[in-house]
């Protein structure tokens, strides 16, 4: 089973956006008005209620694998902006969440929504975590959504009090937007 998933993963990486056909059953309410046929020979034969309809769905590419030329296909992204997105992704080591696109300078929220419609996060990059209890203020300011001021507050609090045990202690001393907490926690350790 693992081998099947692995083959499918590499198939998705090496194919372009293609139309996929997805089958879903038709609701039972459509069959309520149909009277079933009576079998002539075998009483065990009953009509089948599973009719199938198809929907066309676009397969999404991995945002961590696309290049600047692929991004230019999205309306609102030119050569400069596509290079900026790729540069920011490379500086992070890869996107761990699609909300990180909002941090790219000059990228409008409507364009970010278009990117989310075309691309998804299929492969999670290897994240280099930072120990909150051992890192300098400069090292703590490297992950997204942690400013230089926030990192200085963390280091000064750590020096005056004690080492941090979990992320809730950090949330007590600095103000992090609630929708960004889960992204920041991916980059920090407490050992």
**Hey, what are 65's tokens?**
């694998």
Q: Report the chain's terminal Cα–Cα distance, integer Å.
A: 36
- Within a 13 Å sphere around the CA of 61, how many CA atoms are in the beta-carbon half? 16
Average pLDDT (183-188) is: 84
Q: Which residues of 77-100 are buried (b: 16+ CB within 10 A; e: fewer)?
A: beeebbebbbebbeebebbbeebb
pLDDT for the residue 15? 63
Which parts of the chain are beta strand (E)?
Answer: 19-25, 52-58, 61-62, 119-120, 130-131, 188-189
Average pLDDT (29-58) is: 51
* Percent of the chain with pLDDT strictly greater than 90: 23
Q: What is the pTM of this model?
A: 0.58
pLDDT for the residue 34? 55
- Residue 33 backbone dihedrals phi, psi, to 5 degrees: -85, -10
Task: Say yes or no to pLDDT of 77 above 60.
Answer: yes
Task: Name the band, by pLDDT with cuts 50, 70 and 90, for residue 45.
Answer: very low
Task: Say yes or no to pLDDT of 147 above 90.
Answer: no
């Amino acid at each position: 089973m693992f081998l099947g998933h692995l083959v499918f993963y590499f198939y998705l990486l090496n194919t372009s956006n293609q139309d996929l056909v997805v089958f879903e059953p038709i609701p039972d309410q459509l069959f309520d008005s149909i009277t079933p046929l009576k079998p002539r020979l075998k009483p065990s034969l009953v009509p089948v209620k599973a009719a199938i309809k198809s929907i066309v769905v676009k397969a999404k590419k991995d945002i961590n694998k696309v290049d600047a030329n692929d991004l230019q296909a999205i309306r609102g992204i030119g050569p400069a902006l596509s290079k900026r997105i790729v540069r920011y992704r490379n500086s992070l080591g890869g996107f761990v969440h699609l909300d990180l696109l909002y941090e790219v300078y000059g990228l409008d929220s409507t364009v970010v929504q278009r990117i989310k419609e075309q691309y998804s996060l299929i492969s999670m990059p290897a994240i280099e975590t930072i120990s909150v209890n051992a890192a300098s203020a400069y090292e703590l300011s490297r992950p997204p959504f942690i400013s230089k001021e926030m990192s200085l507050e963390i280091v000064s609090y750590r020096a005056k009090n004690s080492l941090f045990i979990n992320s809730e202690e950090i949330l007590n001393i600095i103000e992090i937007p609630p929708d960004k907490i889960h992204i920041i926690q991916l980059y920090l350790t407490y050992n």
